[in-house]
Amino acid sequence: MERSKQKQMNQNENEADSAINGKFDGRVKIPGWSAGGAAGTPSTAPSSSVMESWREERTRSLEDNEMSLPSIAAAYTTILRGLGEDPQRQGLLKTPWRAATAMQFFTKGYQEKIIDVLNDAIFDEDHDEMVIVKDIDMFSMCEHHLVPIFGRVHIGYLPNKRVLGLSKLARIVEIYSRRLQVQERLTKQIAVAITEALQPAGVGVVIEATHMCMVMRGVQKMNSKTVTSTMLGVFREDPKTRDEFLTLIRS
């Protein structure tokens, strides 16, 4: 069942060039978030910290990358020396530059804007069944220790006359995860972006992730996973909808 829905949605996406009927203007309001929102929708507004609007979010340009590469590399040289290593030994000669370039890649989400992903990818559609994309691979960086967080993201939403090209859900995950993060904020940011873009009846986001800062240090639990979820709209208010989502992502 789920597969057929996905197929249908993919077709919609393929028609993107000829049928752009939901061009995103960046000015949608979130139901229940402000005065004049959908009647009877209780406020499920996330904390203001995640509402730092992605429409005005700061981005890092490729020029910025080029400009900052030498100073990041120099900082890595300092780190190597501080660790008791000799940055001049053969194996480490290029390490600061490699590490700096890698770190810029790990945080390339700062170079992209959510709005660029959404433009031309929102379609008017009378589809009112739950849309789910599960097992989206996610690689992020813990902002407290600068080590990887990796895992899987599951997203579901109940459309309200608008749908998003399916591959764009994974792109939203990519943009927010390739930044310095905490898992809770990442989960909310994904849910909020989908809510703002589509004004769906509800959104659910679940992330299961391994934090290297937990696995390699601290409690050192090899197989511990952290699970976070954000439920908005009917996913929060209606246990049946929420259960359907949770069952489908586990099947």
Between CA 140 and CA 8 the distance in angstroms is: 31
7 vs 144, beta carbon nearer Zn ion: 144
- Give me the DSSP letters along 121-178: -EEE----S-EEEEEEEEEEEETTT--EEEEEEEEEEE-SSEEE-HHHHHHHHHHHHS
Between CA 180 and CA 149 the distance in angstroms is: 10
Restricting to residues 97-156, which ones interact with Zn ion according to CB under 5 A? 142, 144-145
Reply yes or no on whether 127 is catalytic.
Answer: no
Reply yes or no on whether 6 is catalytic.
Answer: no
- Closest distance to Zn ion from the beta carbon of 148 (Å): 9
145 vs 152, beta carbon nearer Zn ion: 145
- C-alpha distances in Å from residue 49, one per residue of 53, 80, 107: 9, 35, 20
Reply yes or no on whether 142 is catalytic.
Answer: yes
**Residues in contact with Zn ion, total (CB under 5 A)?**
4
29 vs 221, beta carbon nearer Zn ion: 221
Reply yes or no on whether 145 is catalytic.
Answer: yes
- Closest distance to Zn ion from the beta carbon of 210 (Å): 11
Reply yes or no on whether 56 is catalytic.
Answer: no
Between CA 210 and CA 222 the distance in angstroms is: 9
- Closest distance to Zn ion from the beta carbon of 76 (Å): 19
Between CA 172 and CA 248 the distance in angstroms is: 21
- C-alpha distances in Å from residue 94, one per residue of 63, 64, 204: 21, 21, 44
- Closest distance to Zn ion from the beta carbon of 219 (Å): 12
115 vs 142, beta carbon nearer Zn ion: 142
16 vs 102, beta carbon nearer Zn ion: 102
Catalytic residue among 104, 142, 154, 181: 142
Contact 45, 33 (CB under 8 A): yes
Catalytic residue among 57, 111, 145, 184: 145
Quick note: the x/- pattern for Zn ion over 184-223, rule CB under 5 A, is -----------------------------x----------
Reply yes or no on whether 104 is catalytic.
Answer: no
Q: Which residues contact Zn ion (rule: CB under 5 A)?
A: 142, 144-145, 213
